[in-house]
A and B are shown apart, each in its own frame.
Chain A
């Protein structure tokens, strides 16, 4: 176990009833890295993230965050520990305002002045959220909702960010914007575990990658090597 690893998933096995969604998955994320998890629809990518943020109970395996076992924590305790999960499909709270969504992102914090400062920082980073501050989140466009979901996650000041298909269903120009934000975040010190079907763009922005097929890791390595890998090219890069 490397000293600077932020997240260590080892031997993770998850079942939904009789269906085995993950089998013996091992993934390491080092401090300051962007690590991408690619795989076809239904491979188990979201399940992996959901296991880390404790939305589900793994059947076996261990999940260590900064050297501590988090496999027994509740989902809200995982957030307090410093992990933020931007779920698939954004899941903004549609009936609450943009501002309420953002403030809820800081629910675990009590440093009110710093929260106000962070709120302004998010509005600076995402000017469109500032314009729509009092609007119900459900009225935002898909791209704006994705930005809100990311900004909301950042409001907890996470050390590890889990992003589940942030580019899904968005126009190419918005996708580029999202990835530029991911690069910025990473440069400001946030470690990121990224799940993507848009494998090229994701790998280009990552240090390392894992390929998940039918619940098992079949390939892993530096992102540059995965982009060149014949099997990856055929399956995911078209």
Chain B
């Protein structure tokens, strides 16, 4: 029973973690929270659905439409995530860069990103309605069983294949991203810009280019996370990403703002604690994430793995 819940928690926690990574990347470079990230996450799920050549439902401008071709799930996921990344770059160009150029207050930027999120959600609804869409069963691993029992017949630990895929993809993303940031020349430049953009430009780093790259990575990872959730529970409507948006916020504050390991630890922790909530209290599950957050912040205001808030200037 406990093992089963831990497994469930690990799966949902990995999604929280990679979702929160998208926030973290942008926060560590620009010091802003991009609320549109939840909407990009949702878009990613829809992009994959569309690229698979699947048909839309009965509502919205695109009712009953579909692409003349269909990509296999994994290709659609990849292309969809790239489009989500490019969409992030586009938002950076038309919203965040102009605000930055005017030296806008971070609060203003935050509100602008919130407005973006709402607008994107509404546009999705306008285009494809608020119906639930799901990828065909077995889309990711044709022929694989729907679930695997890692326990015994008496004490089953059943993990659904979709959950295994989520965990595997999340681990892969984490490994690649960590390697990229810590071991490559561009990753080193990203770390430099995240510490001090002005000094970085004096070293010959084109900071705007790296900011674009960051928005791409954030959108890409968000798009992948959206598709993974769609695979697990279906695309439950344009609001799919909203609850993740809030939860993701709890994750990064819990883990420590701007810390990548923090996003991972925070995501897994909240996922696992939620999964341990007894069935009778399930309607309070969302409140729990914020309760944990509140308690941790009382003891460690900088979050679990964050740097102390007071820094030398």
A joins B in a complex = yes
Cα distance A87–B199 in the bound complex, in angstroms: 8
- B196 CB–A CB distance under 8 Å: yes
Contacts of B202 in A (CB 8 A): 53, 55, 75, 79, 84-85, 87, 91
Do A55 and B201 have beta carbons less than 8 Å apart?
A: yes
A23-54: CB near B (< 8 Å → 1, else 0) gives 00000000000000000000000000000010
Q: 5 interchain pairs (CB within 8 A)?
A: A93-B196, A100-B192, A107-B203, A107-B205, A108-B203
Is B189 an interface position by the 8 A CB rule?
A: yes
Nearest residue (CB) in B for A105 is: B203
Min CB gap A42→B, angstroms = 19
Knowing that A103-B188, A104-B192 touch, tell me 15 more A-B residue pairs with CB under 8 angstroms: A55-B201, A74-B206, A76-B201, A85-B202, A91-B199, A91-B202, A93-B196, A94-B195, A94-B312, A95-B191, A95-B195, A96-B195, A100-B192, A104-B189, A107-B185
Expressed in whole angstroms, the minimum distance between the Cβ of A164 and any Cβ of chain B is 11
The answer, among A91, A103, A105, for a CB contact under 8 Å with B196, is: A91
Tell whether B204 is near chain A: CB-to-CB under 8 Å.
Answer: yes
CB-CB contacts below 8 Å: B188-241 with A: 188-189, 191-192, 195-196, 198-207
Within 8 A of B (CB), among A105-136: 105, 107-108
Question: Nearest Cβ distance between residue A57 and chain B, in whole angstroms?
Answer: 12
CB closest residue in chain A, given B209: A76
Indicate whether A10 reaches chain B with its CB closer than 8 angstroms: no
- In the complex, what's the smallest C-beta–C-beta distance from A77 to chain B, in angstroms? 8
Q: Which residues of A contact B199 (CB under 8 A)?
A: 87, 91, 93
Knowing A96-B188, A100-B188, A103-B188, the reply to whether A108 touches B195 (Cβ < 8 A) is no
Tell me which residues across on chain A come within 8 A of B195, comparing CB atoms. 93-96
The verdict on A152 contacting chain B, using a C-beta distance below 8 Å, is yes
Q: Is A156 an interface residue (CB 8 A)?
A: yes
Which residues on A sit within 8 Å (CB–CB) of B192? 93, 96, 100, 104
Which of under 10, 10 to 19, 20 to 34, or 35 or more describes the interface residues of A?
20 to 34
Q: Is the interface of B mostly helix, strand, loop or mixed?
A: helix
In the complex, which residue of chain A has the Cβ closest to the Cβ of B198? A55
Measured in the bound complex, the distance between the Cα atoms of B182 and A95 in whole Å is 13
Chain A's nearest CB lies how many Å from the CB of B273? 30
What total of chain B residues lie within 8 Å of the partner, measured CB to CB?
18
Q: How far is the CA of A108 from the CA of B185 in the complex (A)?
A: 11
| Alpha-carbon separation in the docked complex, A52 to B233 (Å) | 56
Residues of B near A183 (CB, < 8 A) are: none
- Output the least CB separation between A45 and chain B (Å): 16
Q: Nearest Cβ distance between residue B127 and chain A, in whole angstroms?
A: 38
Closest to B194 in A: A95
**Complexed CA–CA distance, A222 and B200 (Å):** 35
Binding site for A on B (CB under 8 A): 185, 188-189, 191-192, 195-196, 198-207, 312
**Top 5 A-B residue pairs of the complex, sorted by shortest distance between their CB atoms:** A79-B204, A108-B204, A75-B201, A91-B199, A76-B206
The distance from the CB of B184 to the nearest CB of chain A, in whole angstroms, is 11
Residue of B nearest to A112 (CB): B185
Return the chain B residue nearest A87 by Cβ: B202
Q: Which residues of B contact A75 (CB under 8 A)?
A: 201-202
Please name all residues of chain B whose beta carbon is closer than 8 Å to the beta carbon of A152 when the two chains form the complex.
Answer: 203
- Closest-by-CB residue of B relative to A91 is B199
Tell me, in angstroms, the Cα distance from A53 to B198 when the chains sit together: 11
**A84: nearest chain-B partner, CB-CB:** B202
Chain A residues positioned under 8 Å from B205 (CB to CB): 76, 104, 107
Task: Closest B residue to A95 by CB, please name it.
Answer: B195
A138 and B196 CA atoms in complex are apart in Å by: 13
B31 to A: closest C-beta gap in Å: 14
The smallest C-beta distance from B205 to any residue of chain A, in angstroms, reads 6
Chain A, range 135-184, C-beta contacts under 8 Å to B: 138, 152, 156
- Residues of A near B188 (CB, < 8 A) are 96, 100, 103-104
Q: Which residues of B contact A104 (CB under 8 A)?
A: 188-189, 192, 200, 203, 205
Please name all residues of chain B whose beta carbon is closer than 8 Å to the beta carbon of A87 when the two chains form the complex: 198-199, 202
C-alpha gap A91/B189 in the complex (Å): 15
A104–B188 Cα distance when bound, in Å, is: 7
- A195 CB to closest chain B CB (Å) equals 15
Report the bound CA distance from A20 to B119 in whole Å.
43
Nearest chain B CB to A154 CB, angstrom units? 12
Within the assembled complex, what's the spacing in Å between the Cα atoms of A93 and B189? 11
Once bound together, how far apart are the Cα atoms of A170 and B73, in whole Å? 62
Contact in complex: B191, A96 (CB < 8 Å): yes
- Shortest CB–CB separation between residue A38 and chain B, in angstroms? 23
